[in-house]
Chains A and B, each alone.
Chain A
């Protein structure tokens, strides 16, 4: 369809009336002369009169055409497609395929409602179909083919994902491409579809209609599994108006399942405890519920010690009880006697014998000493950091700043100047620069407790690429974070062995180290449970157990549905509409940009000007012959 980048110039086409007006004004009434020698004229080529008349009409047409082409060229015409095509309306049906509409009969009803909505779309509008759960997928692009759209609805499968209205509205509005559009959302209006404070943005003028599939039927669901030392606890939710007895089954690996029955009141959550559960690698909990949603009747969990991150402590000798006594015990501390982390010590010399894969299995590395750390060991640590590993460097007496520079990486500007042990400039305290940083998260609102730690001595650390996380009360840098490839390094300007400070003797020491490990390990997190929508690459988004490779080591993970999908809470259509923001400029701007790009590619104005030049040349030749 022909569109114009600067349609106002088309007003100039009115100038085409100028030749017509001149033609009419200059047109004289036909002269009549009574003449004697008409017989001599009869022998003349009087047929030229008609030719001349025709020629004048052609001249007029050429002049009008030239002016029209000039106006056309200035209006920057182009054949609009996609975003630049803005005339016909577009209606996109967004069909909810989340877990919550997968109860028996409900998804078929949703499809029928979607097709009914298609039938109500005004003739001439293009129709498209988007299905959505965690993510939205365009299954039928906007077109005039309604049969295609209807077939796309028929073929849409129910999914296991959670409801995300924002994804649906975003994907649907992208189909408008600057045109006026309507989004028909066919959904069960589940409240969890909007995250807290979440808002969807659609182009201004977009009409949103909500077609309600209806409330969720009574449903039992397994919302969580916790594996404790001697038992497995499953959380069961009864989403229904009446009390029910939930029959829960636990299967560990391939062993026969154990079954317990718990009573649940209306809309109540209870726990099913399987005491004395045998050890194993994976557990599956199922609840009997024939009427509700099937996919949330089962939940999977990966058991075993693989959950505990391993922390490698590099010291002078590798004997942690001697070189890193406080660090070892702080990291080993855990709730109910369970160590939070697996701690492993290695000397600088022995580290050279490690392989990259072995080191890659560590959630974090504490570098407490560079003594004996040879080139191989430095390269190993540098490679670990570049590939996303996290290191804590305690710049104490055993740290050589130049070696740390090699470890953190050549690109880093980190410098450590270890303090002279003979000079003791005096006590100082630690003060976080930004308490919102993850390593200070346990102290949020109570950061002053870190001020009780007394630092007698400290190294000077810093670097232009490093971010200061904490300073001493003297103003010197206490803790910095330096990037190193895909990884990161935290550098504490003091030791962790109760030599230059009394940090290990304070209660803040253990949570600080735990948060440091969690922060350092976050880039290489080894989660064992994923929601369907967050399943790792290569793993199908269906509930169940799967095996993935992590740093070359295969490990088992559990894929579960989002338990929030079992929540029957609904919102009203008005609340749904109020969560949508209509932006005026965005769609128009995108359409204009698209239109300009298309016009730039086609540059039809050049052809129009060339044609105008041709017309003017013909007009000139013809006018010269007519004069």
Chain B
């Protein structure tokens, strides 16, 4: 019985975290995802013929060259050279708040970087031009979108060198990037979105105004979602170093309500704008994020 995408076992982030380099992580995630898909996601992506290949079960029947079959009585499928038809911009939040994640395999930043690498790997494989913009309260690092060979390596190196440090101002980099984009494409925002929702949404809509599709990966640590603390704790803000002494039992209900309201707000407002919103728990597999991207990608074509 063939696997359905949602049935297959994805890689646990903890397993991914133990992999050596960012490239290896990205390759493992992407190849693992793609090898299980029934249909090639590359259908129609390119029109230039490349070669014939003997049919193997699972290939799309539409790609079978019936003329060759008539001549040789064997099934061959036609393979095409893929063409870049999208510019994809990965925007990775490297603010201090992304550094949280002490209780789990990967911090939000590591999870986001791994996600960005995987997306870059996936896009590069699809011949899409991929760029990277790292930001905190301003743009920290920017790699223009390109599909050239070797660009993936540059992107991975850039990702590998990033560190979390400063305060967050998501909206400002969004506006900056939106102003620089001249071609339609996809912007992927990877952030914990712990900033003013109004500003963030306004910034994201800026892309829409420019005809750019936007997909938002809202990365939160499991502790931020569940707030599992049980003893009086002094919470120190990763960005402002501001301290709050709180008894979890007393504040949990309020916190969860606040966090739930924030998530609902993003989900509701971004959905209303046609922006894909995906909440990612750093405990959950990265493949789910990739599937969400592919879904958006297919819509964009």
From B100, B239, B247, give the contact of A49 (CB < 8 A).
B247
* Beta-carbon contact of A38 and B244 below 8 Å: yes
Of all chain A residues, which has the CB nearest B229?
Answer: A33
On chain B, which size bracket covers the interface?
Answer: 20 to 34
Closest CB in chain A relative to B248 CB, distance in Å? 9
B87 within 8 A of A: no
* Beta-carbon contact of A44 and B254 below 8 Å: yes
* Beta-carbon contact of B236 and A52 below 8 Å: no
Known pairs A43-B258, A44-B254; A36 contacts B247 (CB<8 A) = no
* Beta-carbon contact of B244 and A42 below 8 Å: yes
| Cα distance A38–B231 in the bound complex, in angstroms | 16
Known pairs A42-B244, A44-B258; A35 contacts B238 (CB<8 A) = yes
Of all chain A residues, which has the CB nearest B100?
Answer: A36
- Which one of A24-32, A566-574, A608-616 is at the B interface? A24-32
* Beta-carbon contact of B245 and A49 below 8 Å: yes
Closest CB in chain A relative to B254 CB, distance in Å? 4
* Beta-carbon contact of A36 and B108 below 8 Å: yes
* Beta-carbon contact of A38 and B251 below 8 Å: no
| Cα distance A34–B239 in the bound complex, in angstroms | 9
* Beta-carbon contact of B234 and A31 below 8 Å: yes
| Cα distance A31–B240 in the bound complex, in angstroms | 19
Set of chain A residues within 8 Å of B247, measured between Cβ atoms: 48-49, 52
* Beta-carbon contact of B232 and A49 below 8 Å: yes
Chain A residue total in the interface (Cβ 8 A): 21
From B194, B232, B240, give the contact of A37 (CB < 8 A).
B194
Set of chain B residues within 8 Å of A624, measured between Cβ atoms: none
A46 within 8 A of B: yes
Of all chain B residues, which has the CB nearest A50?
Answer: B245
From 200 to 259 in chain B, residues with beta carbon under 8 angstroms from any chain A beta carbon are 221, 224, 229, 231-240, 242, 244-247, 250-251, 254-255, 258-259
| Cα distance A33–B221 in the bound complex, in angstroms | 14
* Beta-carbon contact of B192 and A52 below 8 Å: no
| Cα distance A30–B98 in the bound complex, in angstroms | 24
B17 within 8 A of A: no
Known pairs A36-B238, A41-B251; A31 contacts B233 (CB<8 A) = yes
Closest CB in chain A relative to B253 CB, distance in Å? 8
Known pairs A49-B246, A49-B250; A34 contacts B100 (CB<8 A) = yes
- The SS class assigned to the B binding surface is mixed
| Cα distance A45–B246 in the bound complex, in angstroms | 8
From A35, A39, A45, A52, give the contact of B232 (CB < 8 A).
A52
Set of chain B residues within 8 Å of A42, measured between Cβ atoms: 242, 244
Set of chain A residues within 8 Å of B100, measured between Cβ atoms: 34-36
| Cα distance A551–B58 in the bound complex, in angstroms | 147
| Cα distance A43–B192 in the bound complex, in angstroms | 19
Of all chain A residues, which has the CB nearest B108?
Answer: A36
* Beta-carbon contact of B236 and A44 below 8 Å: no
Of all chain B residues, which has the CB nearest A28?
Answer: B231
* Beta-carbon contact of B237 and A46 below 8 Å: no
* Beta-carbon contact of B251 and A45 below 8 Å: yes
Set of chain A residues within 8 Å of B238, measured between Cβ atoms: 34-36, 38
Set of chain B residues within 8 Å of A537, measured between Cβ atoms: none
A335 within 8 A of B: no
Of all chain A residues, which has the CB nearest B254?
Answer: A44
Set of chain B residues within 8 Å of A31, measured between Cβ atoms: 229, 231-234
Q: A30-B232, A37-B255, A48-B247 are in contact. List 19 more A-B contacts (CB 8 A).
A: A31-B229, A32-B236, A33-B234, A34-B100, A34-B237, A34-B238, A35-B237, A36-B98, A36-B238, A37-B259, A38-B237, A39-B237, A41-B235, A41-B244, A44-B255, A44-B258, A46-B251, A48-B246, A49-B232
